[in-house]
A = this chain, B = another copy of it.
Amino acid sequence: MTSPGSASAGNATVGLPKTLEWVGGDDGFLRLLDQTRLPRDVVFLDCRSAEQVHAAIQRLSVRGAPAIGLAGAFGVCLGAREWLERDRRDVERFLKGVDEVSDYVGGARPTAVNLVWAVRQVREAAYARRDAGVEAAWKAMLETSRRLLAEDVEICRQIGLHGADLIRDGMGVLTHCNAGALATAAHGTALSVMYAAHAAGRRFHVYADETRPLLQGARLTAFELTASGIPTTVLCDNMAGWLMSQGRVQLVIVGADRIAANGDTANKIGTYGLAVLAKHHGIPFYVAAPRSTFDRSLSDGRGIPIEQRGAHEVRGVGGSEVVAAGAEVYNPAFDVTPASLISGIITERGRVEPVTGGGIAQIFA
Contacts and interface: CB of A to CB of B under 8 A. Distances in A.
B234 A323 contact: yes
A132 interface: no
A323 B218 contact: yes
Size class of A's contact patch? 35 or more
A4 interface: no
A51 interface: no
A278 B328 CA distance: 22
B232 A328 contact: yes
A238 B209 contact: yes
B273 A240 contact: yes
A233 B331 CA distance: 10
Contacts of A97: none
Interface in A26-69: 39-40
Interface stretch (A160-168, A313-321, A347-355): A313-321
Contacts of A242: 269-270, 272-273, 332, 335
Contacts of A241: 270, 272-274, 276, 335
Nearest to A177: B238
Interface stretch (A78-86, A100-108, A147-155, A220-228): A220-228
A365 interface: no
A283 interface: no
Contact of A277 (B231, B277, B315, B332): B277
Given A238-B238, A241-B276, A226 B324 contact: yes
A89 interface: no
B239 A238 contact: no
Report, nearest first, the 8 A-B pairs whose CB atoms are least far apart.
A318-B318, A241-B273, A238-B270, A226-B326, A237-B238, A222-B327, A242-B335, A212-B236
Given A222-B323, A242-B269, 16 more contacts: A40-B320, A176-B238, A209-B238, A210-B314, A212-B237, A215-B322, A218-B317, A218-B327, A226-B324, A226-B325, A226-B327, A232-B324, A232-B328, A233-B329, A280-B280, A318-B319
25 contacts: A39-B323, A176-B238, A212-B236, A212-B237, A222-B323, A222-B324, A223-B324, A226-B326, A232-B324, A233-B330, A235-B329, A236-B270, A237-B237, A239-B335, A241-B272, A241-B276, A242-B269, A242-B273, A243-B330, A245-B335, A276-B276, A276-B280, A317-B317, A318-B318, A319-B320
